[in-house]
Amino acid sequence: MGYGLRGGPRFALDKEEVDLKNYDYNLIRRLVREYVRPYVKHILIAIFLMVFISLMGLLGPYLIKVAIDTYIPKGDLNGIALISIFYLLSNMAIWVASYWETYNISWTSQNVIFELRQRLFEHLQRLSLGFYDRTESGRIMSRVTNDINALSEVAGPGMVRIIGDFFTIFTTAAIMLTMNTKLAFISFTTIPFIIILMTSFRTRIRKAYHTVRRKVADVNANLQESISGVRVVQTFSREQTNLQKFDSTNMENFQANMQAAGLHALFMPLVQFVGSLGTALVLWYGGLLVIDSEISLGVVIAFISYIQRFFSPIANLSEIYNMIQAALVSTERVFSILDTEPEVKDIEGAIELPPIQGRVDFENVVFGYDPQNPVIHGISFHAESGEMIALVGATGSGKTTTINLLARFYEAQEGRITIDGIDIMTVTLSSLRRQLGIVLQDNFIFSGTVKENIKYGRPDASDDQVIAAAKAVNAHDFIVRLPEGYDTQVQERGSRLSVGQRQLVSFARAILTDPRILILDEATSSVDAYTEMIIQQALERLLKGRTSIVIAHRLSTILKADKILVIDKGKIIEEGTHDELLALSGKYKELYEAQFR
């Protein structure tokens, strides 16, 4: 097992490494058991209609035989007309039944896909940050879209068609044996060749579809990364390089699809050729029997129609077989996510965290993204309710990891973290995070209005409360100057707002939930000096009465902190107020003088 950028184990999803030997039809059975079974009524209706369509289809050749052998030789126009009417009615019945059969099975298929996609998205919401640290978002999108779409033909239509085709094959075979045993056995001699074809193509087709799915995921991952990073791409004039990379990935996808298409193009005509070989044998041997007056011409004509109906569902089954191979790949890939357990989840018997005062304790906390290589080494500190604790240190020293552990985005391997004396491992994640407010350096702004973004953590907030939160962080003035004020659409990732405006909206969003503990992770490092001044003015009001843990590269923002922790290589090496740390003449003084020199 490999390790990701942060040292954690990679998921198979990262490199699409899936052992083809692990594929088995238990995946299809699981799909049927968990997702298709609720719609069994509609499937049974579709199966009944499929059987009815098969029977009506078998009636046609028999009517033609009767017309040729009975009414045409006698010149019985009434009989011929009657047969023609029955033939037309049987085809009309097939048309009506086909409509309802298609509608029922499509309804079932779409419901299954809807439910599966819904569950997958719901599960993705619960997966821990470690999963997303080690998995490209483009590959996840491929699961939710392409792979689930690939299941739509199996989740209902495929199963019904398999049943219908087998019914048609056995019924047609029975009729053929009843009409003439010799001709029937001549027709059946080609079946072993079809079995050999299916067996020989099985592994190659499965591998081809697996490669197709993997290459599609590569294209999605490349596309998503290029679009998300388009500003950086254009800044460094990397358009041509990116185009070449995408062209290479896209070409691999093209080649994988053409390989699968080539196998499909070779497989289906071979099956059809074997079917035509059976027709040729019937035509030759049946002609001899007609010449010898052993059977009538109507029997031969009916037999040719029946043999076409006999091999047509066999060809359909071959098509469905290919479809199932593709679905097996997609099913495994979808279930691989659904079976991924969140690394961080509520323990059995977890309690709701009661309203807190905000006292925080870290007790000998050890953590590593790869448990064998800790990045936090026995960190311990205490924060009284209402205190401001600042974490400073070089990039990669473990500051952000520390606050991620407090919010339980990751679980500590050793030690414990308590809030008001309650171990956060024993409380539910939702009750913990409801009482935390987190503002990051690069907060995510969702598409929608400014108001909707501020209300994101508290959808039931009134407009007055939204405005009060915006005023509290000095965001109200710029919001009312926007074209539609609080109802201004900010577009994807808040592209209509400046960096500073997005940060102010993020502060308002955090404050609206009235958190007892406020976490600021370099929340002002990406804004200009004027916006930082506005935010600092707001923070002086906001932090009163709240416990705050602040990560800051700009030491000017934490001069009034009650306690400053200097972290180096995952350890607290200095602790005290600004003045106390300067007096120590240690790492903090070195950082301070380097910044203000």
502, 439 Cβ separation under 8 angstroms: no
Q: In whole angstroms, what is the distance from residue 395 CA to residue 409 CA?
A: 20
| CA angle, residues 16, 264, 36, in degrees to nearest 5 | 65
Report the pLDDT value the prediction gives residue 147, as an integer from 0 to 100.
79
451: nearest Cα among 442, 440, 443, 460: 460
- Structural domain boundaries enclosing 521: 384-407+433-596
For residue 313, give both structure tokens.
């569902």
- Verify that 37 and 139 share a domain, yes or no: yes
Asked if residue 146 is part of any domain, the answer here is yes
Note whether 204 and 17 are within 8 A (CB): no
> What is d(CA 208, CA 582) in angstroms, rounded to the nearest whole number?
66
Q: Are residues 180 and 69 in the same domain?
A: yes
Amino acid at 458: R
- Residue 246 sits in the same domain as residue 390: no
pLDDT of residue 20: 44
Q: Is residue 156 part of a domain?
A: yes
Q: Which two tokens stand for residue 508?
A: 């308002």
Q: E strand or H helix at 150, and its extent? A: helix 148-151
Q: CATH number of the domain at 546, please.
A: 3.40.50.300
Domain CATH code at residue 301: 1.20.1560.10
Do 179 and 309 sit in the same domain of this protein? yes
Return the amino acid letter for 253.
N
Task: Output the pTM of the full model.
Answer: 0.71
C-alpha torsion angle, residues 200, 203, 205, 208 (rounded to 10): -140
Residue 442, φ and ψ in degrees, nearest 5: -125, 80
Q: Does residue 349 sit within a domain? A: no
Which pair of structure tokens corresponds to residue 447? 């598409």
Q: Residue 280: its pLDDT value, please?
A: 83
In a domain, 528, yes or no: yes
Distance CA 181, CA 174 (A): 10
Contact 361, 245 (CB under 8 A): no
The H-or-E segment that residue 380 falls in is strand 376-383
Is residue 319 located within the same domain as residue 438?
Answer: no
Assigned token pair, 403: 């606050």
Contacts of 250-257 with C-beta under 8 Å, sequence gap 24+, read 250/219, 252/215, 252/218, 253/212, 253/215, 253/216, 253/218, 253/219, 256/208, 256/211, 256/212, 256/214, 256/215, 257/212, 257/215
Sheet holding 376-383, edge to edge: 376-383, 360-367, 414-419, 422-423
Look up tokens 């003045």; give the residue. Answer: 579
CA separation, residue 83 to residues 60, 89, 295 (Å): 10, 10, 21
pLDDT at 391: 92
Q: Are residues 456 and 332 in the same domain?
A: no
Instruction: Say if residue 43 is in the same domain as residue 98.
Output: yes
pLDDT of residue 526: 62
pLDDT at 155: 66
Structural contact between residues 402 and 476, judged by C-beta atoms closer than 8 angstroms:
no
Same domain, 334 and 401: no
Token pair of 467 as six digits: 């405005």
In the chain, the largest separation of any two C-alpha atoms, in whole Å, equals 122
Same domain for 443 and 310: no
Which contiguous run of DSSP H or E holds residue 419? strand 414-419
Domain count, the chain: 2
Is residue 254 one of the residues assigned to a domain? yes
Exposure class string for 270-282: b at 16+ Cβ within 10 A, else e: bbeebbeebbebb
In the predicted model, residues of the chain with pLDDT beneath 50 are 1-23
**What pLDDT, on a 0 to 100 scale, did the predictor assign at position 21?**
45
Residue 512 lies in a domain: yes
Residue 5 lies inside a defined structural domain of this protein: no
Across 303-317, b (16+ Cβ under 10 Å) vs e yields bbbbbbbbbbbbbbb
Check whether residue 396 and residue 280 sit in a common domain: no
What is the distance between the alpha carbons of residues 544 and 427, in angstroms, rounded to a whole number?
26
369 in any annotated domain: no
3-state secondary structure of 149: helix
| Together in a domain, 314 and 401 | no
Same-domain status, 516 and 571: yes
Q: What's the CA gap between 309 and 313, in Å, rounded? A: 7
